[in-house]
Amino acid sequence: MFLLPGCVSKKKQTMRNNIVTLKDSYCKAPKRYNYNSSIPSYNSDSILQANSHLKQQFTEQSILILNALGTLDEVEHILQLKKDTSLPAQVQVLQLKNIINSKITIALTELDAVAAEYDCEGERVSQMAAYIENINSSRNDKMILYSIVAGAATSVAGSLVSSQALSNSINIGGGVLGAGLGLATLNPKGKKVAFIHKRNILRDVWEEKLLSPNFPPFVWYMYTEPHFSSKENVSIISNMKERWLHYHFNDDTLAAKNSVLFGDGGFYRAIDLHNRAAMLNQMQSATRTINQNFNYLLLDLDRMILK
Three-state helix/strand/coil letters over 131-145: HHHHHHHHHHHHHHH
- % of residues, the chain, pLDDT over 70: 72
- What's the mean pLDDT in 207-218? 87
Contacts of residue 3, defined as CB under 8 A and 6 or more positions apart, other chains included, come to: 11
pLDDT at 270: 87
pLDDT at 191: 73
**Chain-centre distance for alpha carbon 210:** 16
- pLDDT tens-digit profile of 251-304? 999 999 999 999 988 888 888 999 999 999 999 999 999 999 999 999 999 999
- Write the single-letter amino acid at 100: I
- pLDDT tens-digit profile of 24-62? 566 777 667 677 778 898 999 999 999 999 999 999 999
Choice between 216 and 144, residue whose per-residue pLDDT is larger: 216
Q: Global pTM?
A: 0.77
Indicate if the pLDDT at residue 166 is higher than 50: no
Indicate if the pLDDT at residue 142 is higher than 70: no
Q: In the predicted model, what is the mean pLDDT of the chain?
A: 80
Indicate if the pLDDT at residue 138 is higher than 70: no
Q: Secondary structure of 257-273 in the HEC alphabet?
A: HCCHHHCCEEEECHHHH
- What's the mean pLDDT in 167-187? 42
Q: Are 124 and 26 in contact (CB under 8 A)?
A: yes
Q: Are 265 and 195 in contact (CB under 8 A)?
A: yes
Indicate if the pLDDT at residue 95 is higher than 80: yes
- What's the mean pLDDT in 73-95? 94
**Confidence band for 65, pLDDT divided at 50, 70 and 90:** very high
pLDDT at 186: 36
Choice between 263 and 150, residue whose per-residue pLDDT is larger: 263
Dihedral sign from CA coordinates of 130, 133, 138, 139: positive
**Confidence band for 182, pLDDT divided at 50, 70 and 90:** very low
Domain ranges, ordered by start, for the chain = 59-306
**Confidence band for 167, pLDDT divided at 50, 70 and 90:** very low
Please tell me the distance from the alpha carbon of residue 124 to that of residue 143, in angstroms, as a whole number: 29
pLDDT at 265: 87
Range with the largest mean pLDDT of 145-159, 166-180, 259-273: 259-273
